[in-house]
Structure formats: C-alpha cells, structure tokens
Amino acid sequence: MSLPVLRPSSRSRGLLLSLVALAALCALGGCSTLGYLAQSVQGHLGVMRAARPVEAWLADPGTDAELRERLLLSQRMRDFAVSELALPDNASYRRYADLGRSAVVWNVVAAPELSLTLKTWCFPVVGCVGYRGYFARDAADAQALALRGQALEASVYGVPAYSTLGKLPGDFFADPLLNTFIGYPEGELARLVFHELAHQVSYASGDTEFNESFATAVERLGGARWLARHASPAAREEHQHFDARRRDFKALVLGARDRLDALYRGAASQDDKRANKAAVMAALRAEHARLKAGPWGGYAGYDAWFASANNASLGVQAAYNARVPAFEALFQNEGGDFPRFYAAVERLAALPREERHARLDALAPRALDRR
C-alpha cells in the first residue's frame, strides 16, 4: 500500500507544517472533511513518533529476545534490499515502533450489490484509489456502515504497512518497521519490506493496478532470491506451506470473482443475478471449508475473510495481481537486472495511462494472477 506525501518545511511551523506537509495522507482515502484530514495527519504523526532506531531497541536491555532476533533479521533483509535488489538506501525500515494494535491502518472498500467495481475516492497528487483508510478501527467501521446505508457492500480490512514513497526528508518521516508485521514468517517479512520499498522506486498517479502489481512483482522476485540465498531450510519449508495456502486462496477467490463478474455483466434479470450470486458465495465458503479441513490442516487464518466476503472484498483482490506477469516478463526482458528493470518501469509510469497499459498488455495480457 502506498501513500504519496508532500514535502515539508522546517518543523518549527508546527500544526501548519503538519497540515501542509502531510495533506496527501488523504491518499488513505480522500479528504472530504477536515475531520478525515485531521485523523490522517494525527495518525501518521503518531506512528512516526512511536518509532525508535533499531540500534536503540537492540541496546535496550528491556527488549524481548525474540523481538531482538526479528529486528536483526530485518536489518539483514534491509541491507540485502540495497545490495542485491537495488532498492533505495535510506532510513526506511531502520526504525521500529510498537503501536499496540494489530494493524497500522484499516481500509474501507465498497462496491454495488451487483458489481465488482470499487467505489473510488479522488484527491490531488495521488489521483483516484478504491479504498479509504483510517488509523482507528471504529472510524473505519463507521464509514463502512455509512456506505452500507448508500446500498453499497462494504468491507473493512487491516493493513500491516503503508509507504510514504520516501519523499519526506529526514529519519523522522522514514517508514518504520512495525509490530503489525515484524513477527511474520521470514519469507513474508522479506516480501513485505521489498514490496513497500518498491513503491519508492516508481509510482504512477491514480493507477493502483500498475503500482501494486509492480510492487508485488518486486516482492516475489526479491523474496525468492532472499529465501534461496539466505534462509534456512526450515524457513524455506515454512514459506512453502504458507505460499501453498496463499495460492489456494487466490485461485479460489479469483475463480469466484471471475464467475461473479461474468454474471453481473450478463443479461439475466436482477433477481436471477441475486440468486446466482448467493450460489457462488455459498460454493466459495464451502470450498474454503474443504481446504481448511483438508490440505490446510485446520489453518484458520482466512476464516474472517470468508465469513465477511462480499463484492467489495472480492473486487479489491485484482489490483495486487493483474499486471504481475507483465512486470515479471519485463524483468526478464531487461536481463534480470534490477536497475535496468526499474528504469524501464519508470519509463512506463511516465506514459499516459492507456499507453502504459497497452505496453503492459504487449508483455503479458491483463489477467488475474493466481500464483
């Protein structure tokens, strides 16, 4: 997840600085009210203030031994991101914050009853995105309730990390490591760090599909390289199990999304569409139950998602996957060289949206990637 931000001046300008420098944190979902802007600014500053340099945590005798090991691991990954993946060498992920909550932000997404097209919120700099984010869960739930009152299906989900694109100067504003993801399995921690750093390499305003698919491609390429070169056999085996479940989940969810998309675009009556939609959703949940009882060995990590699945939660799945094969093909075309790959992506990002997507289609036609 990425958030563009404006450049700040000196801190001495206090609240005015915060409002101006962090105004684009409305990329969390749009700035229709000053209240929303205030929670965006205050929430982001709260995260920044909670962060301390990793070195300070390591030097603190009160730091838990397990956290100490995870922080050391994260710094090896951070060094690897620079030396092996040519990702930015800056203060990002050199600090750590324990926020005392399970997510840094809660995103709200919404879609009509018989459509997978997400409602969008638009604002300067970042363009339009299909989510609206809150630093407090109760505020996100209230927004979802309001959207349901507009006859939309809404979903709320926690986000473990977001990127400020590395645009703000100074260590204070650098993206920190967070308790929301520091305990991830080794392969997943590497992938998340590489994904968020990739947002600092290239960003196309208003093109979530391009931005997230690019970052997902980098996380996959970089994560595979990290696991092959630095992870223990146990960590690689753990990742294989985790990734197998993820592939099953994506194949199941995107298959249901395809069926619903065809249904909604068809000529059936609204009543027939509702009936068929209910059948697709029932089959989706039944297949999840089968996977959980069988290959997943009782794994319950997706239970909440399937319990509340709707058009909104299905619709948001496409953005992170649709263009990944095209970016992976581009990486191969550039000889597997990360700097050349990034330069090619930057050239694409500078093109008008339609031309950009046409170039990606030439590399690999748009398709929901189920890997």
For residue 248, the SS3 value is: helix
The CA–CA distances, whole Å, from 139 to 40, 156, 224 equal 11, 10, 37
Distance in angstroms (rounded) separating the CA atoms of residues 36 and 188: 31
Find the mean pLDDT for residues 273-285. Answer: 98
Name the CA radius of gyration of the chain, rounded: 21
Question: Of the given ranges (14-18, 176-180, 320-324, 356-360), which has the lowest mean pLDDT?
Answer: 14-18
Q: Render pLDDT for 294-346 as a digit per residue (tens, 0 to 9).
A: 999 999 999 999 999 999 999 988 767 779 999 999 999 999 999 999 999 99
Asked if pLDDT for residue 165 goes beyond 90, the answer is no
Distance in angstroms (rounded) separating the CA atoms of residues 248 and 370: 8
Asked if pLDDT for residue 264 goes beyond 70, the answer is yes
User: Cβ distance 22 to 3 under 8 Å?
Assistant: no
Percent over 70 (pLDDT), the chain: 87
What would the two tokens of residue 21 be?
């420098």
Asked if pLDDT for residue 365 goes beyond 90, the answer is no
Distance in angstroms (rounded) separating the CA atoms of residues 175 and 270: 46
> Sign of the CA dihedral 264, 270, 272, 274?
positive
Distance in angstroms (rounded) separating the CA atoms of residues 360 and 233: 36
**Residue ranges per domain, the chain?**
11-230, 233-320
Q: How many CA atoms lie within 13 A of 67 on its CB side?
A: 20
For residue 299, the SS3 value is: coil
Q: State residue 371's pLDDT score.
A: 62
Q: State residue 33's pLDDT score.
A: 57
324-333 and 353-363 helices, crossing angle to 10°: 70
Residues contacting residue 82 through CB under 8 Å, at least 6 positions apart: 88, 89
Name the residue with higher pLDDT: 130 or 87: 87
Find the mean pLDDT for residues 87-93. Answer: 96
Confidence of residue 7 (pLDDT cuts 50, 70, 90): very low
Q: State residue 367's pLDDT score.
A: 60
Q: State residue 209's pLDDT score.
A: 87
Confidence of residue 126 (pLDDT cuts 50, 70, 90): low
Asked if pLDDT for residue 35 goes beyond 90, the answer is no
Q: State residue 8's pLDDT score.
A: 27
What would the two tokens of residue 47 be?
């995260």
Distance in angstroms (rounded) separating the CA atoms of residues 366 and 371: 14
Confidence of residue 125 (pLDDT cuts 50, 70, 90): low
For residue 158, the SS3 value is: strand
CB atoms inside a 10 Å sphere around CB 115: 16
Distance in angstroms (rounded) separating the CA atoms of residues 141 and 369: 30
**How buried is 170 (Cβ within 10 angstroms: 0-12 exposed, 13-18 middle, 19+ buried)?**
exposed
CA-nearest of 344, 342, 368, 369 to 356 is 344
Q: State residue 171's pLDDT score.
A: 84
Q: Render pLDDT for 12-27 as a digit per residue (tens, 0 to 9).
A: 233 333 333 444 444 4
Distance in angstroms (rounded) separating the CA atoms of residues 108 and 119: 10
DSSP symbols for 159-225: ES--B-TT-S-SGGGSPPEETTTTTS-HHHHHHHHHHHHHTTT---TT-HHHHHHHHHHHHHHHHHH
Length of the chain counted residue by residue? 371
Residue 2 DSSP class: B
Q: State residue 13's pLDDT score.
A: 32
CB atoms inside a 10 Å sphere around CB 252: 19
Question: Of the given ranges (111-120, 149-158, 359-368), which has the lowest mean pLDDT?
Answer: 359-368
Find the mean pLDDT for residues 35-51. Answer: 88
Residues contacting residue 9 through CB under 8 Å, at least 6 positions apart: 17, 20, 21
Average pLDDT of the chain?
A: 88
Name the residue with higher pLDDT: 274 or 315: 274
pTM: 0.86
